[in-house]
């Protein structure tokens, strides 16, 4: 591996870390400007000036904001996300199971949707402007245009209520047999697949079509290669960077954007957890979840950028 590529990657990773710090400042500042403070929201209606003062003292709220920020940040760097105000439980412990559930669902949705989207994209390009392309694009557009809760309800209506093949609510728990777990997440995973499929498939199609205009594709055609060989061997590798980008954005969505799907299917993931704690004004939890979501987002974007750098032949083979 040559030096410019290592340097670029190192720069990109460093930028990601810097960004994460910036986000942590924003999250902290954002929760500070909420009306009332944490002590006020814990005590609620029963707050008296004395109990407020005691609680502020106890929680260290009297220190200046920057002191509290760094205390919070160092805690996180040591893996300590703090304690939830409402349940007094360690946040890191409670989040672990939830995060795992969300990742589990996202993983299976990705395993189905990414290959499917790319294959459909390739097919659409192969038979471009023909009936196959129109059918694929049409269905994909239809599934993105419908809001995800509606897709969810449709799936529940047909597969859980009418034909009763899959459960309509997806409560998973520790120690649940793997096959049952897969059955439980079948519908939410399908809903998510339908939501992200179209975006990835359309981007794949557009990116490859873009490459197809290049002169070397014409050369390949003149060489007498079949349409599929041209697309697979020549167009696809050169379109990989934008495809990875859109795949990563959708992966990020699968982790951080599934609140609605989780609520509909009663899936015990991060989204549900965040919603519950926002409603109770449990600021430390909201901060922790916000930071985790930001980290996932930034990480996946860095991965996408690094992958595009690696996929760039000019960088891989410098003159």
Partner 1 sequence: MSDELSYLSMRVASGRLSRREFLGRAAALGVSATFANGLLSTAVQAAGPVKGGTLKAGMQGGTSTDSLDPATWQSQVPAMLGWQFGDGLVTLSPTGEIVPRVASEFSSSPDAKTWTFKIRKGVTFHNGKDVTPQDVLATLERHSDEKSKSGALGLMTGIASMKVDGDTVVIGLKEANADLPYLMGDYHLMIQPNGGKDNPTEGISCGPYKVVANEPGVRHVLEKYDGYYNADLGHASTIEIIVINDATARISALQSGQVNMINRVEPKIVDLIKRVPGVTIRTASGRGHYVFINHCNTAPFDNLDLRLALKYAMNRQEMVDRILMGYGSIGNDIPINKAYPLFADDLEQRSFDPEKAAAHYKKSGHSGSVLLRTSDVAFPGAVDAAQLYQQSCAQAGITVEVKREPGDGYWSEVWNKQPFSTSYWGGRPTQDQMYSTAYYSKADWNDTRFFNEKFDQMLLVARAELDNTKRKGIYRDMATILQAEGGLISPMFNDYIDATGPGVEGWVEDPNYELSGGYALQRCWLAA
Exactly one of 173, 180, 223, 233 binds partner 1 (CB under 8 A); that residue is: 173
Three-state DSSP class for residue 264:
helix
- What's the min distance (Å) between Cβ of 28 and partner 1? 21
- Asked whether position 94 contacts partner 1 by CB under 8 A, the answer is yes
Binding mask 42-71 for partner 1 (x = CB under 8 A): --xxx-------------------------
Measured CA to CA, the distance from residue 58 to residue 185 in angstroms comes to 43
CA-CA distances (angstroms) from residue 45 to 158, 185, 189?
46, 41, 42
**200-229: contacts with partner 1 (CB under 8 A):** none
Query: Which phi and psi (to 5°) does residue 239 adopt?
Result: -100, 5
- Asked whether position 75 contacts partner 1 by CB under 8 A, the answer is no
- Asked whether position 156 contacts partner 1 by CB under 8 A, the answer is yes
Classify the C-alpha dihedral 224-226-232-235 as positive or negative. Answer: positive
Exactly one of 16, 75, 82, 168 binds partner 1 (CB under 8 A); that residue is: 168
319 token code pair: 């003159």
Cβ neighbours for 140, distance < 8 A, ≥ 6 positions apart:
120, 197, 198, 201, 202
Exactly one of 132, 209, 263, 307 binds partner 1 (CB under 8 A); that residue is: 263
Exactly one of 63, 218, 229, 276 binds partner 1 (CB under 8 A); that residue is: 276
- Asked whether position 82 contacts partner 1 by CB under 8 A, the answer is no
288 token code pair: 């922790």
**Cα dihedral angle (142, 144, 145, 146), rounded to 10 degrees?**
90
- What's the min distance (Å) between Cβ of 112 and partner 1? 23
Residue count at the site for partner 1 (CB under 8 A)?
32
Measured CA to CA, the distance from residue 211 to residue 237 in angstroms comes to 10
- Asked whether position 157 contacts partner 1 by CB under 8 A, the answer is yes
Which residues lie near partner 1 (CB under 8 A)? 44-46, 84, 86-88, 94, 98, 153, 156-157, 160-161, 164, 167-169, 171, 173, 263-266, 268, 272-273, 276-277, 279-280, 282
């Amino acid at each position: 591996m040559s030096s410019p590529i290592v340097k670029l990657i190192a720069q990109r990773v460093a930028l990601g870390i810097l960004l994460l710090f910036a986000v942590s400042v924003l999250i902290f500042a954002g929760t500070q400007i909420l009306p009332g403070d944490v002590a006020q929201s814990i005590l609620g209606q029963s707050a008296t000036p004395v109990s407020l003062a005691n609680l502020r003292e106890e929680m260290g709220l009297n220190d200046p904001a920057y002191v509290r920020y760094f205390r919070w940040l160092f805690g996180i760097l040591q893996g300590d996300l703090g304690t939830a105000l409402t349940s007094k439980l360690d946040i890191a412990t409670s989040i672990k199971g939830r995060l795992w559930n969300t990742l589990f669902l996202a993983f299976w949705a990705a395993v189905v949707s990414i290959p499917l989207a790319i294959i459909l994209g390739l097919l659409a390009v192969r038979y471009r402007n023909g009936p196959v392309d129109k059918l694929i694009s049409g269905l994909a557009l239809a599934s993105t245009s419908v809001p995800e809760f509606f897709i969810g309800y449709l799936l529940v209506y047909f597969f859980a209520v009418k034909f009763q093949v899959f459960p309509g609510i997806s409560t998973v728990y520790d120690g649940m047999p793997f096959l049952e777990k897969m059955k439980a997440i079948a519908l939410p995973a399908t809903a998510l697949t339908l939501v992200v499929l179209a975006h990835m498939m359309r981007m794949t199609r557009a990116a490859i079509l873009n490459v197809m205009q290049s002169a070397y594709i014409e050369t390949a055609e003149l060489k007498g290669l079949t349409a599929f060989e041209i697309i697979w061997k020549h167009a696809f590798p050169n379109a990989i960077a934008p495809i990875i980008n859109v795949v990563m954005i959708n992966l990020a969505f699968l982790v951080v954007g599934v609140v609605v799907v989780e609520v509909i299917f009663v899936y015990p993931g991060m989204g549900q957890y965040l919603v519950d704690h926002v409603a109770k004004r449990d600021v430390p939890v909201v901060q922790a979840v916000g930071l985790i979501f930001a980290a996932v987002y930034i990480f996946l974007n860095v991965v996408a950028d690094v992958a595009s750098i690696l996929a760039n032949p000019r960088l891989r083979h410098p003159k």
